[in-house]
A and B are shown apart, each in its own frame.
Chain A
Amino acid sequence: MGDTVLSVKDLVVDIPTRKGVLRPVDRVSFDINEGEVLGVVGESGAGKSMTGNAIIGLLDPPAHIASGEILLKGSPIQNLEKKEMQKIRGFEIGMVFQDPLTSLNPLIPIGEQLSETIRKHLPVDKKTADKRALAALDEVGIPAAASRINNYPHQFSGGMRQRVVIALALCAEPSLVIADEPTTALDVSVQAQIISLLKQLCRERGTAVMLITHDMGVIAEASNRVAVMYAGRLAELGSVEKVLTTPEQPYTQGLMASTPLASEGKKRLNQIPGAMPTLGALPSGCAFHPRCEFAYDKCRVDPYPTLSDCNGRAACWLVTENSEKR
């Protein structure tokens, strides 16, 4: 693995509302290295997408970054001017959204959408940009790309459209791609193709990937490391083998036990009792304690731990206790 491309430090996102401040992302820290795929998993509402949007600077007001740092190749980008951020979006950080059916402008031919993105970021003329657009379509495996470059999005199937979206995200050769649930809206048969395409393209270019998903199968398939989020906080962060096979944080453990993938051979899937708390009604202490079978007083009372408060891998007092006992 190469240099650190993205480094997120103690990121906090706040949404002020009439009933008080909601905190969808709370002291989240992680790094992604060149050519590495970091999977971010969690239930919907756990703050995965919000983290991704914060990194690329597309939080919908009134949501905003309250504190923390986002370093792109070592320089902070969380407070950049609008114009500066525009230069980074698409050029340094590409993004792939969930639904390819709605991500493409229906009234503009796909070739033009690619070409305008290329021209925005690279000092090339229209002709070269068009040529590069064609090459980009070829690369993502659009058959007979030359004849389809002037087609409109509705003339492509869902899977093909997601390929176009990936081409758009990668056409200016960004060093980081944030893929927000890139396969959720697709047919199961197409999902694997899209994931392997994304993985292959990024490996070739050394692009770092932040792969946001709730699908453990996709994580196991594509990522090098995994970050597990729960109620806006990082629960666990580690290599994919370790997190999937020997999870340390009780929530992750529960998650793995409830996933068919990890429990092969077992007769029944486990389930975690209860549901993730909503942002407006977070319990004191560790947000997972009401559902945690190991919870004790410290979990309920003490301010919840971050990864660095514990062993750097799991955010849980138990982990610290265990290591102390050892």
Chain B
Amino acid sequence: MLAFSIRRIFQAIVVLAVVGLVAFSMFRFVGDPIDNMLGQERTDADIVRLRTQLGLDLPFPIQYLKFLQGAAQGNFGVSYRQGRPVADIIVERAPATLELAAVSVIFAIVGGIVFGIFTAIQRDGFIANAIMTSSLIGVSLPTFLIGILLIYLFAVELSWLPSFGRGEVVKIGWWSTGFLTVSGLKAIILPSITLGLYQMTLIMRLVRSEMLEVLRQDYIRFAFARGLSDRSIHFKHALKNTLVPVITVTGLQIGAIIAFAIITETVFQWPGVGLLFINAIQFVDIPVMATYLLLVSVMFVVINLVVDLLYYAVDPRLRSDGAVKAGHQ
């Protein structure tokens, strides 16, 4: 367990170092930072001064270390486009993205598991088949088309729900939440469905195929032979075994949801980090791009670590290596 954890943490650090290098190289080499920061009227003295000030005269590895040090302290530089510290902008916009992602993840996991079990148990039922067929089309649909379709149905035709923005938000400290107002809650429905739908379909299909596989196992047959009820077999015996592989994929899907938030935020003009990132790409706002990359990687790496550790928690076979031999006759 310890060796496993150490290896995983080491791998995570390597990933972060590589991503940090990419992010740093973006700062350093994409366009000239001096060009970006000084206006047209500049003197050679200005350039030299700024060079020293930014540490651009130092050797590359030292610059890199300084960059990492700054990043660790939340210093990500200044946005070329907005002229404000990137950290401030991100902090301002993070709640919108995190709330959207959280609702989508819950929607995807709950929906995916419920529909997955249903379609597995009702294997040849009419409704289950209908769900499977529509999920096949759902997987081929680009996220943004789903969003547009939902806007058309619920905002344009039925005018039940807003088509863009977060609605009214309430400030709690520096965190702005949309969960406390009716308009905020209404506003999050369509974006979170759009964002979560694809992942829900994936989880559903995975749960279904895993569940069908598990239901074929001897221990399920044995559970039937012991007279246990369908309910207990499906939800206790089969579900538990189904979840082991599902956890990994679900964890990775959470990462994907954060990345795909970029698309959903654009469709719904959701004022989050993803929209910020897209605007940054359009205007080649390197500090914002690099910061986003760094933050997302940290998030991914953390998620992957958590997933691995969860895996441990669910599957006792991985947990105890020492006890195996003790039971021999």
> Which residues does chain B contribute within 8 Å of A103, judged by CB atoms?
218-219, 221-222
> Which residues does chain A contribute within 8 Å of B217, judged by CB atoms?
102
Residues B240 and A95 in contact, CB atoms below 8 Å apart: no
Residues B222 and A120 in contact, CB atoms below 8 Å apart: no
What band does the interface of chain A fall in when counting residues whose beta carbon is under 8 Å from B?
A: 35 or more
What band does the interface of chain B fall in when counting residues whose beta carbon is under 8 Å from A?
A: 20 to 34
Residues B228 and A97 in contact, CB atoms below 8 Å apart: no
Interface string of A80-119 (1 = CB under 8 A from B): 0010001111110011010100111111100000001100
Contact of A121 among B218, B221, B227 (CB under 8 A): B227
Residues A58 and B224 in contact, CB atoms below 8 Å apart: yes
Expressed in whole angstroms, the Cα–Cα distance for A165 and B222 within the complex equals 9
B328 at the interface (CB under 8 A from A): yes
Residues B241 and A89 in contact, CB atoms below 8 Å apart: no
User: Which residue on A lies nearest to B326, using beta carbons?
Assistant: A155
Known A108-B237, A152-B317, A157-B328; contact A117-B222, beta-carbon cutoff 8 A: no
Contact of A97 among B221, B230, B240, B327 (CB under 8 A): B221
Expressed in whole angstroms, the Cα–Cα distance for A117 and B229 within the complex equals 10
Residues B320 and A102 in contact, CB atoms below 8 Å apart: no
Q: Which of A133-152 contact B (CB under 8 A)?
A: 148, 151-152
Q: Which of B205-228 contact A (CB under 8 A)?
A: 217-228
Residues A107 and B240 in contact, CB atoms below 8 Å apart: yes
Known A108-B240, A154-B317, A155-B326; contact A89-B221, beta-carbon cutoff 8 A: no
Expressed in whole angstroms, the Cα–Cα distance for A102 and B219 within the complex equals 6
> Which residues does chain B contribute within 8 Å of A172, judged by CB atoms?
227
Expressed in whole angstroms, the Cα–Cα distance for A301 and B320 within the complex equals 63
Interface string of A120-133 (1 = CB under 8 A from B): 11000000000000
> Which residues does chain B contribute within 8 Å of A91, judged by CB atoms?
227
Q: Which of B249-298 contact A (CB under 8 A)?
A: none
Residues A105 and B223 in contact, CB atoms below 8 Å apart: yes
- By CB atoms of chain B within 10 A, which of A56, A89, A121 has the most? A89
Contact of A120 among B225, B226, B241, B324 (CB under 8 A): B226
User: Which residue on A lies nearest to B317, using beta carbons?
Assistant: A154
User: Which residue on A lies nearest to B217, using beta carbons?
Assistant: A102
Residues B224 and A157 in contact, CB atoms below 8 Å apart: no
Residues B227 and A89 in contact, CB atoms below 8 Å apart: yes
Q: How far is the CB of A160 from chain B (nearest CB, A)?
A: 5
Expressed in whole angstroms, the Cα–Cα distance for A190 and B328 within the complex equals 11
A30 at the interface (CB under 8 A from B): no
Known A105-B237, A106-B241, A107-B314; contact A117-B219, beta-carbon cutoff 8 A: no
Known A154-B324, A155-B324, A155-B327; contact A90-B228, beta-carbon cutoff 8 A: yes
User: Which residue on A lies nearest to B243, using beta carbons?
Assistant: A107
Residues B226 and A168 in contact, CB atoms below 8 Å apart: yes
Residues B241 and A107 in contact, CB atoms below 8 Å apart: yes
Residues B225 and A152 in contact, CB atoms below 8 Å apart: no
Contact of A106 among B219, B236, B327 (CB under 8 A): B219
B46 at the interface (CB under 8 A from A): no
A159 at the interface (CB under 8 A from B): yes
Expressed in whole angstroms, the Cα–Cα distance for A56 and B221 within the complex equals 11
Residues B223 and A106 in contact, CB atoms below 8 Å apart: no
Q: Jot down 15 A-B pairs with beta carbons below 8 A, ordered by A.
A: A87-B227, A89-B224, A90-B228, A97-B221, A104-B219, A105-B220, A105-B223, A105-B237, A105-B241, A106-B315, A116-B236, A117-B226, A117-B227, A156-B327, A160-B328
Question: Which 3 A-B pairs rank lowest in CB-CB distance, beginning with the nearest?
Answer: A90-B227, A89-B227, A102-B218
- Beyond A120-B228, A121-B227, list 4 extra A-B contacts (CB 8 Å): A104-B222, A106-B317, A152-B317, A168-B222
